[in-house]
Amino acid sequence: YYQLSQLEGKVIVIAFLFTRCPDVCPIVSANLEFISEQLGDVYGNEVAILTITVDPWTDNNSVMNEYAESRSLDWPHLTGTVEELEPVWKNFEVGLETYDSDIDGDGVADGFDVCPDTPEEEEVDGDGCGLDTQQSEDSDVQVKHHPLLTYWVDHTTGTIIVDKNMNQRVWWEDTLWNPDLVMEDILYLVNE
């Protein structure tokens, strides 16, 4: 078992993601990689980074390791059972919902489907909108067809920074990440 307490005395940057995520999660991983590079020797000595899955049904140890290795990410990517992860999600106020239906059969789970009335068999973009019938010719949307396995995951996206005393101090919404300001927050906590 991985215990957060083994990092006491370090500033900890925690991100919640899942490996099948088509949009924000890969950006979060890239942002964390940038932060780790910018920190230099401070990373590892005074700052730790952790990634924790919100999809333990798919993200087992080998999937998480493959995700990290394929992106050359050198920090722990943690998973576990739903029973082990639920208290962690609750502690960090991670909202999580799964969807297991695809009423129009376009391969985009209903909770994510912006255009739920897509004609059957029509090619769709990442939002579930038909490329032929539901977009103008001026659209710059590219095809991002993500097959519906048996479910899809929706979660709140935030990167959390915990201080040396294990107190959650900063929460950055992943879509509003500003690497310079995140770095400033981390270094402020390191120097406290």
Q: Which CATH architecture has domain 4-99+152-190?
A: 3-Layer(aba) Sandwich (3.40)
DSSP, collapsed to helix, strand or coil, labels residue 8 as coil
Q: For the whole prediction, is pTM greater than 0.75?
A: no
Long-range pairs, 175-181, Cβ under 8 A, ≥24: 175/24, 177/27, 177/28, 177/31, 179/31, 179/34, 179/35, 179/38
11 closest CA partner among 48, 51, 36: 48
Alpha helices in 2-81 (DSSP H): 24-39, 42-45, 61-70
How open is the CA angle 106-23-140, to the nearest 5 degrees? 70
- Cα separation, 148 vs 146, whole angstroms: 6
Residues in the chain, overall count:
192
User: What is the model's pLDDT at position 148?
Assistant: 42
CA distances from residue 35 to 20, 142, 156, 165 in whole angstroms, order as listed:
23, 29, 21, 21
Distance CA 153, CA 44 (A): 31
Q: Could you list the pLDDT tens digit for every one of the 192 residues in the chain?
A: 788 889 999 999 999 888 887 778 888 899 999 999 999 999 999 999 999 988 888 889 999 999 999 999 999 999 998 889 888 888 887 766 555 555 556 555 555 555 666 667 777 666 566 666 665 444 443 333 334 445 555 556 689 999 999 999 999 987 788 889 999 999 999 999
Domain residue limits, the chain:
4-99+152-190, 101-149
